[in-house]
Structure 1
Amino acid sequence: MHSYEMRIDGQVRDGTERSVENPATGETVGTVSTGTRTDASDAIEAARSLRKEWAESDPARRERGLRAVAERIEADRDELSELLVAETGKCLGTAEGEVMETAQQFRFFAGVVDKVRGDTIPTSTNRLNYTKRVPYGVTAHIIPWNYPLLLGSRGIAAALATGNTVVAKPPSRAPLSTMWYGNILVEEFPDGVVNLVPGSGREVGAALSDHPGVDLITFTGSTAVGQQVLEAAAANITPVDLELGGKAPAVVLPDTDVENAARGVARGIFSNAGQNCVATSRAIVHEDVKAEFTELVVREAERISLGPGGDPSTDMGPVISAGAQDDILGYIEAGREEGATLRTGGNVPDDPELQDGYFVEPTVFDDVTPDMQIAREEIFGPVLSILSVESVDEAVAVANDSPYALAASVWTDGLHATRIADRLDHGLVAVNTFPVSMPQSPWGGNKESGLGREGGYEGVEAFTTVNSVVVEHGEMEPY
């Protein structure tokens, strides 16, 4: 049983204890003390008290801390992966990958600590103009539950590397693994530099969003909640970095290896039970290969073994909660009512050993049209919609016809792949793979999928602002 308390200014603080359940079994896997608006305010004040000192700290000190965190995550990777499986339900292999990429995030940003540079601007001969990238100050991090380690570390590592102090709200539904590595952060950095306040979005999340002592907010989650964060931050003109919803299209063209595309699209939608903002939930398939692709992807879906994530034979675990399960089943029913053809799945599994968990069968709909609810709204579950198109131009138009624009993929062996990618209005476009993240690569969406970018050097830019200095070498002329 894992138990964690808030960490504010390096100290442990008690709060209201809340149990965390395993979505595969309903069993309690740990507890976390949750905070209030007052706790969040205290954490912000602690971070503000270290704001100037940490911004001016030796880059080598920041680098050592980030590398130490990476090493400790790697040393604990087995236990941390098992905890991540227990509280989210994801498969062990997926959890292990997330843990290792989290360590890589800290290593990457450790490597850029001493490479944050400004520019020299050409001016008239008697002036010098140069810029400096400087930290914002106190950064607030509101972390999601679906990839709590990876998505939280992407912002926290960049913030610490660039000299910001941190107040983090672990996800309400799966806070334990975030608290695990959060405690490592607290131990490796000076008191007050990293502060952890678990709690509800309505209280702690809202407190971080509207507090005048926060200098930058980063939020990953639904578009609806992201809008609320923006509205709250507007009162203080606080900059906000957002990664929001997605409805990722996978464009499948006739000149691709159709079997490979079917495997990739299946991996993209059914991995992590579809609880992924870049899940390939729309397969936009050229009519020449649509029948073949559909049969192959249905076969892939029907091969998937459901079960607890810790079982080596499991291919897909549960969704995160009973509420999520109900929402997904509601979308499936809407698909039926709107006239889509259910090719496989669509139900809760009838295996009695899975009845205590929140499982949904891998589901594939055929004959989907762009106006259907299942083709337009983010389901955040293991539901694939297959749409047929007659041309590349139509495929691009359908792919872009969405308020979401986080990620897309193109499946083609043709040299026109990059031209098609350039026409897709999405923050990330993958060619012959499902969308993937890497520490050195930027991540973020267009339109209603977000604002800004994290990851890569763009992550450095996200957590710094630019100050310009103008030096006049000549004398002022009199009026």
Structure 2
Amino acid sequence: MIDKNISLPRVDSFIAGELRPSADGVYTDKIDPRTGRKIKEIAASTAEDFVAAADSANTAFEVWRDKPPGERGRLLVELGRVIRNNGHLLGQIESEETGKPAHEMPALIQLTAEFFEYYGGIVNSMDGEVVNRSPDYHVYTRRDPFGVIGVILPWNAPLHQAARAIAPALAVGNCVVAKPSEHTPGSLVKLAELAVVEAGLPAGVFNVIVGRGTVVGPAMVSHPAIQKISLTGSVRAGQELGKLAAERILPLTLELGGKSANIVFDDCNIAAAAKGSVRAFTWNSGQWCAAGTRLLVQENIHDLFVEKFVAEVAALRVGPEADATSGPITTKAQYEKIQSYFAIAENEGLTCAIGGKTMSGGRFSEGWYVEPTVYTGVSNDSVLAREEIFGPVVVVIPFKDEKDAIRIANDSDFGLSAGIWSRDIGRVHRVAARLDAGRIVVNEYGGGFVQTPCGGFKQSGYGREQGVDALAHYTQLKSVIIRL
């Protein structure tokens, strides 16, 4: 039976269909970002633990690969139903560990379920093709699974980030060993347990190893059963993983950092753009790679827009409450990193229109809270315009015209996402065609669906999650050429 106790006292790895403590029995404290107090213990898994998980997945692979696609799909669709039925439990665990306001979790739980339902439903449509080149040959292609996929995840959106990699990987016949962040592993461990105990996935198909990346990462890259790795994380993490993977010529899918341009043209609905652009940099307390943290505003509406934008920011409700607009920063290290950028902004002489400091005293006397912060009149050469802060901090950059907007937007090491606010459909298409970004959203910010491919240009990574394209990234294409 699944333990329905929301406040898990300990979080262990899930290996071969069962919860397992770390091999050496070591645990680390999990701190609640809302209060700064210890709330549970998390296993500090060893390389030995990872080997057990990878061996389990490798053993399960032969059986899982040979299941008809429709049978694998049926189990994944069933897992989607189980996720919905246990949404309150999963949401409570993730909210507790990340600090996300509880009201945000139902939508994220629904999205998590949709990934398994979507890939469970479309896997039957993924066929090879016949190549008719000569009557003397029968030539066709097929797509085969890699084997065991390693999935390395960040702490900002544990279930969502996991589902978009794990669902397509499982659908096409791979098995998975997932490593969530050591800060927020509880919801994914519970999901894996539900997948086996309630949805009926075979033991060993879906494993979760809990522990530090510095320990588990090298073990994952070196284990011969691991045939591909998907990483969502920082540029630095992607660079380090790439160096290790190069030794084995190990294929990777990488979604890394972002410094996305959110472009506001003078013909937009200013009120809607101001409101939507606030969400662009404050959703999840600014802790998401695609956040619109470079706000490009056309010069002739700059002052009016900034006035409305700052007023929207001032109306935000930040705090530990379940209905707060934004919660705390998830880790203490990230909280301190954001503060360092306030000092940089001061040294650069940037104009702070609102925010610019941490929140303390009263209901903010404990926990890691940061004021949503707006810097105006910023040059794209500013450190705050170049580097990913990963917090609720936005810089407003004025631009002259369409050409200037595209130039500034593309003048970045990153290319994950972008936003366009305009009523001119011709302009929308022209600008979208010229932006170096993997996803472009028009007249809102966020958007996208399970069916929408997601991934980056430049240092934001390579490969794609979501959509039909993800199935191709978790398979290897094979040609079969038969002389008749």
When normalised by structure 1's length, the TM-score is 0.96
> Is residue 432 from structure 1 mapped to residue 432 from structure 2 by the alignment?
no
Matching residue's letter, 2:148: V
Name the counterpart of 1:251.
263
Name the counterpart of 1:366.
376
Q: Is the 8 A contact 1:30 1:176 kept in 2?
A: no
> 1 CA distance for matches of 2:108 and 2:29?
23
Q: Is the 8 A contact 1:6 1:34 kept in 2?
A: no
Name the counterpart of 1:419.
430
> Is residue 304 from structure 1 mapped to residue 311 from structure 2 by the alignment?
no
Q: Is the 8 A contact 1:186 1:195 kept in 2?
A: no
- Decide which moves more: 208-217 or 225-234: 208-217
Q: 1:201 aligns with which of 213, 235, 239?
A: 213
Name the counterpart of 2:237.
225
> Is residue 319 from structure 1 mapped to residue 326 from structure 2 by the alignment?
no
Name the counterpart of 1:391.
401
Q: Deviations over 1:435-458 (max 9, x none)?
A: 334111111101100110011101
Name the counterpart of 1:476.
none
Q: CA RMSD in A?
A: 1.3
> 1 CA distance for matches of 2:110 and 2:61?
30
> 1 CA distance for matches of 2:210 and 2:466?
24
Matching residue's letter, 2:319: G
Name the counterpart of 1:14.
21
1:9 deviates by 1.8
**Unaligned ranges ≥5, structure 1:** 474-479
1:357 deviates by 0.6
Which runs of structure 1 show a deviation greater than 4 angstroms over 4 or more consecutive aligned residues?
none
Matching residue's letter, 2:390: F
1:94 deviates by 2.0
Name the counterpart of 2:228.
216
Q: Is the 8 A contact 2:284 2:327 kept in 1?
A: yes
Name the counterpart of 2:300.
288
Q: Is the 8 A contact 1:253 1:411 kept in 2?
A: yes
1:13 deviates by 1.9
Name the counterpart of 1:172.
182
Matching residue's letter, 2:373: T
Q: Deviations over 1:272-302 (max 9, x none)?
A: 1000101110001110111111111111111
Secondary structure of 2:482's match? strand
Q: Deviations over 1:51-74 (max 9, x none)?
A: 222111122321222122111111
> 2 CA distance for matches of 1:403 and 1:210?
30
> 1 CA distance for matches of 2:429 and 2:213?
40
> 1 CA distance for matches of 2:344 and 2:19?
47
Q: Is the 8 A contact 2:258 2:388 kept in 1?
A: yes
Name the counterpart of 1:58.
68
- Decide which moves more: 212-221 or 92-101: 92-101
> Is residue 122 from structure 1 mapped to residue 129 from structure 2 by the alignment?
no
Q: Is the 8 A contact 1:429 1:435 kept in 2?
A: no
Name the counterpart of 2:287.
275
> Is residue 441 from structure 1 mapped to residue 452 from structure 2 by the alignment?
yes
Matches within 5 A, 1:79-90: 79-90=89-100
1:80 deviates by 1.8
Matching residue's letter, 2:168: A
> 1 CA distance for matches of 2:174 and 2:226?
11
1:362 deviates by 0.5
1:402 deviates by 0.5
Q: 1:77 aligns with which of 87, 90, 97?
A: 87
> 2 CA distance for matches of 1:96 and 1:29?
23
Secondary structure of 2:225's match? coil
> 1 CA distance for matches of 2:480 and 2:296?
51
> 2 CA distance for matches of 1:351 and 1:73?
38
> 2 CA distance for matches of 1:373 and 1:189?
48
Name the counterpart of 1:477.
none
Q: Is the 8 A contact 1:144 1:152 kept in 2?
A: no
Secondary structure of 2:27's match? strand
Matching residue's letter, 1:63: G
Secondary structure of 1:456's match? coil
Percent identical residues = 34
Matching residue's letter, 2:287: Q
1:311 deviates by 2.5
1:189 deviates by 1.2
Secondary structure of 1:471's match? strand
> Is residue 35 from structure 1 mapped to residue 45 from structure 2 by the alignment?
yes
When normalised by structure 2's length, the TM-score is 0.95
> 1 CA distance for matches of 2:81 and 2:141?
34
Q: Is the 8 A contact 2:103 2:322 kept in 1?
A: no
1:23 deviates by 0.3
How many residues matched? Answer: 471
Q: 1:167 to 1:199 in 2, by over 3 A?
A: same
Q: 2:110 aligns with which of 100, 117, 126?
A: 100
Matches within 5 A, 1:153-168: 153-168=163-178
Matching residue's letter, 1:7: F
Matching residue's letter, 1:422: A
> 1 CA distance for matches of 2:31 and 2:113?
26
1:322 deviates by 1.9
Secondary structure of 2:76's match? helix
Matching residue's letter, 2:475: T
- Decide which moves more: 375-384 or 454-463: 454-463
> 2 CA distance for matches of 1:17 and 1:68?
33
1:459 deviates by 1.2
